[in-house]
Amino acid sequence: QKEVEQDPGPLSVPEGAIVSLNCTYSNSAFQYFMWYRQYSRKGPELLMYTYSSGNKEDGRFTAQVDKSSKYISLFIRDSQPSDSATYLCAMTPGGTPLVFGKGTRLSVIA
């Protein structure tokens, strides 16, 4: 079993839809959870960061971590064409290299 599993998509939604992106993981030592966004031909950029379990909201984006289920989610409300990108989850116990999911490609259609 891979340490981090992420559905690669592609995921195509109409503009204004609520998007749910998910990752599951197997290492119970993971404490720090991140979502990176990567536009085509660009490097990944940090979108959201969460420590341990719980929710974090930033504008239209909400990150959720459920450590008991080893499951993390990123919700995008009122999705826009500019949200079209690949979304990568990443996690670490802290102080060790990040472990990335393979990324989910999202297309938001106007």
Partner 1 sequence: EAQVTQNPRYLITVTGKKLTVTCSQNMNHEYMSWYRQDPGLGLRQIYYSMNVEVTDKGDVPEGYKVSRKEKRNFPLILESPSPNQTSLYFCASSRTKTLNTEAFFGQGTRLTVV
Determine, following the binding rule CB under 8 A, whether residue 93 of this chain makes contact with partner 1. no
Among 1, 14, 41, 68, binds partner 1 (CB under 8 A): 41
d(CA 39, CA 63): 19
Contact 103, 7 (CB under 8 A): no
How many residues bind to partner 1 according to rule CB under 8 A? 21
Judge contact between 100 and 88, C-beta under 8 A: yes
46 binds partner 1 (CB under 8 A): yes
- Is residue 92 at the binding interface for partner 1, with CB under 8 A as the rule? yes
Q: Which of 10, 16, 42, 109 binds partner 1 (CB under 8 A)?
A: 42
CB-CB contact of 48 with 35 (8 Å): yes
